[in-house]
Structure 1
Amino acid sequence: MKNVQKQVPSLLLIITLVGFPQISESIFTPVLPALSRALQVSASQIQLTMSSYFVAFAIGVLVWGQLADYWGRRPALLAGISIYLIGNIGLFASTNFLWLISFRLVQAFGASAGSVVTQTIMRESFSGVTGAKIFAKTSAAMALSPALGPLIGGLVQSWLGYRHVFSTLIGLAVVVLMYCGWRLPETLELTVLTSRPRQSAVLRRLGHDPIVWVYGGLIGGINGILFSYYAEAPFIFETHFGFTAWQYGLLGLVLAAASLLGALMVTQLLNHYRPEQLVLAGLGLSVLASVGLIVVAGLNQAGWMLVFIFLAFLGLNITLPNALNRALVGYEAIMGSASGWFSLAYYLLVSVLTYLMSWLHHGSIVTLPSYLLAISLAMLGAYYWLMKVKLN
């Protein structure tokens, strides 16, 4: 392979690459009730399109993470986006639930390259406070893009029908593939590209690192909360409160505002506080907001539920960029493989948490807030333990 000159990709390209997998997940949410009716399956079954996405996604991040070390970042991303395009075409052509789930897995497997390879590129291109600020901006995109997904999906369903949500995803795949092919540089240096790390050694090192475990738990827990919300929220706001699909889609702006404000706050607060302090503050806010959410859900107050949902996700979006930036410090020489195994673990956690939400679904609007509180408390406890271990 010819020597390649390492370059830094643009922030816009990074945001595009981390954003499209998240949109692909959440754009489904407004059409879940319609899909349930059209395919004649239960609400719990149709929610499997959410949790199953992360099973294939978790497998994909491991595969693409290793291929990014062996092939290079650019070839791995282009191959992943191409498979993602095939999955979207299959979704559009699906006529039954089995085919829908099958191509959902193909879609997720391809989309996972956009997550793991892009994060690998970011970690090897930016470091320190600059890296934390870049991760804050891209974390906003990671939270903003699934927030925009329901709005896009709801509008497309209202105007054109649910099947054209899939044709929208086909168009998205084509645009991302062309943009990536045009603007993505190769960031992997030749000295790293020609050395293949032993996966057993990588896995053993990660497995004995408590920092990796706890930060992986935070990242997986936050994304688990996010996509559990997207799995359950349509049945709260559309079925229980009677919102239309496009009205529900507009609620994504609440999460979008939380993600943007969280990114802005992190960018500014990092000039005055350590990342560890921001993580604790963000998790604390999420716990308090979850308690408030349980109270107002019990009172059947849709408006106040949105207020506390905003506060809960604001706390999570303060936590997430710091966790992403700090998780794999010291793994730069094996970043692709380390990112792959690390992402496999936390996306499996996302899948489990999203599946548990579908399993717990029984029509009560208090279930989601209680679930959010339980996960937030677990994350806060784990991080507090890590801080004590590091101090000792």
Structure 2
Amino acid sequence: MTDTLSRPGAPGGDSAPTPGPAQAPDAAPTRPVILSAVLSAGACLLTGLLTCTAVAVIGWLAATFGSASGAVRAGASVWLIAHKSGVTLGGASISVAPLGLTLFFAWCLYRGGKSAARTSAADRTQELMTLIGTYAAAYGLGALIVALLTSEGTLHASPLSAFFGAASLALVAGTLGVLVESGAAHDLADATPSGLRDAVPAAAAAVLTVLAVASVLYGVLLAIHFSRATGMLELLGAGVIGSVVLFAICLMLVPNVILYVVAFLAGPGFQLGVGTTIAPTGVDVGNLPALPLLAAVPADGATPTYLLVLTALVPLGAGAVAGLIVVRRGRAEQHTDALGWDAFALRGGIAALVAGVAFFVLMALSGGAAGPGRMAEVGVPAALPAAGVLTAGMAIGAAITAAVAAARRPAEPEPEAER
């Protein structure tokens, strides 16, 4: 009788019944998994298209030729190119993705993946896989439709390339968003071996270090050749609205240029046209398009000596940063005393390898065709050797730094003897 009377919800009991899901007025209603994925993918697609179309229409208003429909198709073409879907205009192919715009779309897709996971409340493995697959497929199908609607006259976009390019970006960015929002990312991190788990943030630090140095170097070179940049602007005579559009184009291409500087620091360098070379060993580029971003490109001939020094110091410095992070994170683990200096050196090498793979992917994505004739080849043709050189330098710096820092860690104080 006592159990019956004191049980929650029983007559005369002391506590009220626990409200179920239907009794929670503040709980957000959930949608079916497929519906959440399709709605989130559609929102991301419309956001990207409207952004590109708005910039294209602004440029059309400043121009004295073309039509509004042509401006809309131009904006859609830029959206497709940002997903590495090549567009053919007449006999010229354009496939250089403006990575600044690509990163913006990736961020939107990441947020869209989080929104889809939150509104669907998916938590099981099968539900998460269904959500991610539907999300990527819906976004890819949207890109396929855009490619079909954009192709007209001399403008042609491959629907199949558009589908795979957009779906791939949605798959990567959307998966990250879904895993983070659902909590599965935390579970995966717990299940990952500690050595690999520490190597990932160390690799990210190494990548950011190299990118930061490349950005500073590019900024210095652009400041040195500032008069050349202003001369290009005067030559273009774009006006106020045209200058705004030109600034937006340059802003979207800044990540590409930074990666070209990274390839320059690695040694193999990059090219800005067929038969051109911009490397520490020398520059042979000739005339360049009147784009202010390219004003920082050195003149033809030998490069300054300090640039050759940077090619050795930058990877080693980035590796040292990765090695310090590996040791710092490793010391925070339990049973870290059982790890020797060689274990930390190995983790530093793994971090360098992960960073090298990231650089290879980024440099491979940064190039392509930028127009007819000479501009048919732009980017880093030797992306794999450049990534290999960076990986070797970072591995040396990370392994040595991690080994030295781990070997010099203070010894644990001995417990006092009992009196």
TM-score by length of 1: 0.27
Considering fraction of residues, name the structure with more helix. 1
TM-score by length of 2: 0.26
Q: Which has the larger radius of gyration?
A: 2
Considering fraction of residues, name the structure with more strand. 2
Greater relative contact order: 1 or 2 (C-alpha under 8 angstroms, separation 6 or more)?
A: 1
